[in-house]
């Protein structure tokens, strides 16, 4: 009798709806298949935004799948009306494009959150965002977007799709195609392959930085921001995208970062750095950090960080990295 009861208990444990081992395994397999399908959609939309189309070979290479599994995946996506095969090319349907943009939006909003709010090292945000991007509904994405202040770019400079599915064109061109000794601003840092991105971050280059090419040879590129030099292999430098300096740059010619202001030196806020996006920008504006506002350091901190500033009659604390993004003109 005890033996029969034990068998029944094991069967219940395995086949119990929703919480049994079999149900858990089915849920896990469904999540794995969804993630694989969404990664495929991201690959297709990335190719289309580059002006070309994915193929079974490119899809297999990106997802690291053998040809048989790629063929099965393509067939499943065609049945769900997510893509169409046209010869050797794979094309997103309207439904597939909507789903792909949802995943891209989730990924880039998560990257923005992880970089700005969780303060995760930039070289780690991509993999963590990829892990989280598959679990949010449209409503949850809208909440995250609003909480972050509706940012338009992720920490690498990629445009974030809107709720309606609109997405701006990527800005800039590779620094390898930029004219030597002509000033430029970094507008995008390609995060794939990961090894190249790690080298860019390790070198100290960042989004919004003003640089120029001072040397280029078949073996290396040397960039300068006026104070430091950055040496990169051509293949790595090609992942740094730049554009011409905006007209607002004229405002910063006589300005300095707030963090460089002497103690009790009064200054007028000129502008916020273009790298300040989303929730951080909204928080700065809510604190009254707007152009024309008077600000000055107050209450010395023995450790130097954070530092207290007086603005609009209120004392606020800013870290050095925050104060470096606020440009002021000493009075």
pLDDT tens-digit readout, 33-72: 889 999 999 999 999 988 889 999 999 999 999 999 999 9
CB 222 within 8 A of CB 213: yes
CB 296 within 8 A of CB 236: no
pLDDT tens figures, 134-148: 988 999 999 999 888
Give percent helix, percent strand, percent coil of the chain, each to the nearest 5. 45, 20, 35
- The DSSP bridge pattern shows strands 240-243 and 173-174 to be antiparallel
pLDDT tens figures, 105-124: 999 999 999 998 888 998 89
Q: Which whole number is the average pLDDT over 234-238? A: 95
CB 258 within 8 A of CB 291: no
Domains of the chain from N-terminus onward: 2-92 (1.10.10.10), 173-245 (2.30.30.90), 250-330 (2.30.30.90)
pTM: 0.74
* pLDDT of 268 strictly over 70: yes
Q: Distance from first CA to last CA of the chain, Å, rounded?
A: 91
CB 146 within 8 A of CB 160: no
User: Angle at CA 318, nearest 5°, toward 287 and 316?
Assistant: 50
As given in the structure block, the two tokens for residue 135 are 């679990």
What does 22-36 look like in DSSP terms, one character per residue?
HHHHHHHHHHHHHHH
Alpha carbons 125 and 215: distance in angstroms, whole number = 31
């Amino acid at each position: 009798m005890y033996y029969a009861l034990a068998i029944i208990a094991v069967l219940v444990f395995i086949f119990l709806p929703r919480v049994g081992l079999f149900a858990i395994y089915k849920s896990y397999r469904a999540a794995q298949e969804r993630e694989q399908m969404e990664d495929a959609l991201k690959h297709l939309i990335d190719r289309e935004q580059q002006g070309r189309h994915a193929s079974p070979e490119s899809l297999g290479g990106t997802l690291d799948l053998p040809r048989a599994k790629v063929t099965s995946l393509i067939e499943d996506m065609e049945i769900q009306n997510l893509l169409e095969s046209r010869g050797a090319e794979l094309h997103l349907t309207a439904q597939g494009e909507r789903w792909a943009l949802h995943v891209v939006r989730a990924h880039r909003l998560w990257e923005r959150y992880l970089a700005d709010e969780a303060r995760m090292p930039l070289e780690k945000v991509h993999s963590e965002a990829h892990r989280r991007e598959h679990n949010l509904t449209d409503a949850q994405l809208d909440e995250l977007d609003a909480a972050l202040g509706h940012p338009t770019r992720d920490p690498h400079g990629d445009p974030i799709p809107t709720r309606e599915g609109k997405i701006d064109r990527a800005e800039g061109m590779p620094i390898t195609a930029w004219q030597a000794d002509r000033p430029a601003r970094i507008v995008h840092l390609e995060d794939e392959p990961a090894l190249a991105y790690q080298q860019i971050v390790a070198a100290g280059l960042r989004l919004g930085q003003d640089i120029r090419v001072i040397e280029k040879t078949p073996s290396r590129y040397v960039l300068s921001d006026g104070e430091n030099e950055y040496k990169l292999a051509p293949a790595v430098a090609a992942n740094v995208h730049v554009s011409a300096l905006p007209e607002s740059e004229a405002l910063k010619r006589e300005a300095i970062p707030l963090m460089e202001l002497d103690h009790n030196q009064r200054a007028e806020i000129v502008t916020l750095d273009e790298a300040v996006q989303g929730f951080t920008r909204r928080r700065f504006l809510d604190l009254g950090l707007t152009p024309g506002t008077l600000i000055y350091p107050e209450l010395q901190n023995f450790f130097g960080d954070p530092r207290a500033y007086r603005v609009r009659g209120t004392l606020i604390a800013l870290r050095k990295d925050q104060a470096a993004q606020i440009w002021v003109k000493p009075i």
